[in-house]
Chain A
Amino acid sequence: MPPVLALDSISKSYSQKVAVRDLSLAIEPGSMFGLLGPNGAGKTSSIRMIVGITMPDSGQVNLFGKKFHRSNLQRVGYLPEERGLYKKMKVFDQLVFMSRLRGLSESVATQRARSWSERLQISDALEKKTEELSKGMQQKIQFISTLMHDPDFIIMDEPFSGLDPVNTSLLQDTLVELKNQGKAVLFSTHRMDQVEKLCDSICLVNKGEAVLSGTVREVKSRYPRNHVIIHYEGSDAFLQFPGIAGSRSFPGSSEIELKPGASAQDLLHLAAANANIYKFELAEPSLEEIFIQTVGGRVDA
Chain B
Amino acid sequence: MRNILLIAKREFIERVRSRVFRITTVLVPLGVVAVMLAGHVISKKTGGLNHIAIASDNASLATITKAQLEASEHPPKTIQIVSPATPAARAQLTQQLDAGKLDGFLWIAEQPGQPQPQATYYTRNSSDFFSQALLRSSLSIASLRQELISRGISPSEAKTLVKPVTITTLQIKAGKAVKTNAERNFSGMYALVFVLYGVVIFYGTDAARSVTEEKSSRIFEILLSVTPADNLLMGKLLGVGAAAMLQVAIWVGLTLVGSSTALAAQIGLHGLSSLGITIPELIFFVIFFILGFFFYSSLSSALGATANSAQEVQQFAFFIISPLVVSVLMMAYVMTNPNSITSIILSLIPPFTPIIMYLRICAQTPPWWQIGLSIALLLGAIWGMIWIAARIYRIGILMYGKRPTLPEILRWLRYS
- Residue pair B221, A80 in contact (C-beta under 8 Å): yes
Q: Does B380 reach chain A (CB closer than 8 Å)?
A: no
Chain B 1-13, CB-CB to A under 8 Å as 1, else 0, gives: 0010011001000
List chain A residues, Cβ under 8 A from B218: 80, 82-84
Interface stretch of the complex, out of B36-44, B139-147, B223-231:
B223-231
Q: How far is the CB of B399 from chain A (nearest CB, A)?
A: 10
Q: Does A53 reach chain B (CB closer than 8 Å)?
A: yes
Once the chains are docked, how many angstroms separate the CA of A100 from the CA of B8?
13
Q: Does A76 reach chain B (CB closer than 8 Å)?
A: yes
Q: Does B122 reach chain A (CB closer than 8 Å)?
A: no
Kindly identify which residue among B10, B14, B18, B222 contacts A78, using a CB–CB cutoff of 8 Å: B222
Residues of chain B from 217 to 243 with CB closer than 8 A to chain A in the complex: 217-228
Once the chains are docked, how many angstroms separate the CA of A101 from the CA of B226?
7
Once the chains are docked, how many angstroms separate the CA of A145 from the CA of B219?
12
List chain A residues, Cβ under 8 A from B214: 84
Q: How far is the CB of B273 from chain A (nearest CB, A)?
A: 43
List chain B residues, Cβ under 8 A from A145: 222
Q: Does B416 reach chain A (CB closer than 8 Å)?
A: yes
- Residue pair B226, A73 in contact (C-beta under 8 Å): yes
List chain A residues, Cβ under 8 A from B3: 101
List chain B residues, Cβ under 8 A from A82: 218, 221
Q: Does B287 reach chain A (CB closer than 8 Å)?
A: no
Kindly identify which residue among A54, A84, A86, A101 contacts B6, using a CB–CB cutoff of 8 Å: A101
Count, A-B residue pairs, CB within 8 A: 56
- In this complex, what residue of B is CB-closest to A100? B6
Kindly identify which residue among A53, A76, A85, A100 contacts B219, using a CB–CB cutoff of 8 Å: A85
Q: How large is the interface on B (under 10, 10 to 19, 20 to 34, 35 or more residues)?
A: 20 to 34
Supposing A87-B217, A97-B6 touch, asked if A53 and B227 sit within 8 A by C-beta, the answer is no
Residues of chain A from 57 to 88 with CB closer than 8 A to chain B in the complex: 70, 73, 76, 78, 80, 82-88
Chain B 133-165, CB-CB to A under 8 Å as 1, else 0, gives: 000000000000000000000000000000000
Q: How far is the CB of A282 from chain B (nearest CB, A)?
A: 44
List chain B residues, Cβ under 8 A from A83: 218
- Residue pair A53, B225 in contact (C-beta under 8 Å): yes
Kindly identify which residue among B221, B227, B398 contacts A101, using a CB–CB cutoff of 8 Å: B227
- In this complex, what residue of B is CB-closest to A55? B416
Q: How far is the CB of A61 from chain B (nearest CB, A)?
A: 13
Q: Does A224 reach chain B (CB closer than 8 Å)?
A: no
- In this complex, what residue of A is CB-closest to B411? A15
Supposing A73-B226, A89-B14, A101-B227 touch, asked if A84 and B219 sit within 8 A by C-beta, the answer is yes
Kindly identify which residue among B14, B220, B227, B416 contacts A84, using a CB–CB cutoff of 8 Å: B220
Once the chains are docked, how many angstroms separate the CA of A160 from the CA of B214?
23
Supposing A78-B225, A101-B227 touch, asked if A86 and B398 sit within 8 A by C-beta, the answer is no
Q: Does A98 reach chain B (CB closer than 8 Å)?
A: yes
Q: Does A6 reach chain B (CB closer than 8 Å)?
A: no
- Residue pair A73, B219 in contact (C-beta under 8 Å): no
Q: How far is the CB of A54 from chain B (nearest CB, A)?
A: 7
List chain B residues, Cβ under 8 A from A52: 224-225
- Residue pair A53, B6 in contact (C-beta under 8 Å): no
Kindly identify which residue among A48, A70, A76, A85 contacts B217, using a CB–CB cutoff of 8 Å: A85
Once the chains are docked, how many angstroms separate the CA of A18 from the CA of B224?
22
Q: Does A203 reach chain B (CB closer than 8 Å)?
A: no
- Residue pair B222, A98 in contact (C-beta under 8 Å): yes
- In this complex, what residue of A is CB-closest to B235? A101
List chain A residues, Cβ under 8 A from B14: 86, 88-89
List chain A residues, Cβ under 8 A from B224: 51-53
Once the chains are docked, how many angstroms separate the CA of A54 from the CA of B416?
10
Supposing A54-B398, A55-B416, A85-B217 touch, asked if A70 and B222 sit within 8 A by C-beta, the answer is no
Q: How far is the CB of A243 from chain B (nearest CB, A)?
A: 49
Supposing A55-B416, A80-B218, A82-B221 touch, asked if A102 and B10 sit within 8 A by C-beta, the answer is no
List chain B residues, Cβ under 8 A from A102: 226
Once the chains are docked, how many angstroms separate the CA of A87 from the CA of B219?
10
List chain A residues, Cβ under 8 A from B220: 84
Once the chains are docked, how many angstroms separate the CA of A54 from the CA of B223?
13
Residues of chain B from 278 to 332 with CB closer than 8 A to chain A in the complex: none
- In this complex, what residue of A is CB-closest to B400? A82
Q: How far is the CB of A148 from chain B (nearest CB, A)?
A: 12
Once the chains are docked, how many angstroms separate the CA of A82 from the CA of B7?
21
List chain B residues, Cβ under 8 A from A98: 222, 226
List chain B residues, Cβ under 8 A from A85: 217, 219
Can you show 23 pairs from A to B with CB atoms below 8 A apart?
A: A48-B398, A52-B224, A52-B225, A53-B221, A53-B224, A78-B222, A78-B225, A80-B221, A82-B218, A82-B221, A84-B214, A84-B219, A84-B220, A84-B221, A84-B222, A85-B217, A86-B14, A86-B219, A88-B18, A97-B6, A97-B10, A101-B6, A101-B226
- A sample of 6 more A-B contacts (CB under 8 A), given A82-B218, A101-B223, is A52-B224, A52-B225, A73-B225, A86-B217, A88-B14, A97-B10
Question: Lowest 4 CB-CB distances: which A-B pairs, in order?
Answer: A84-B219, A82-B218, A51-B225, A80-B221
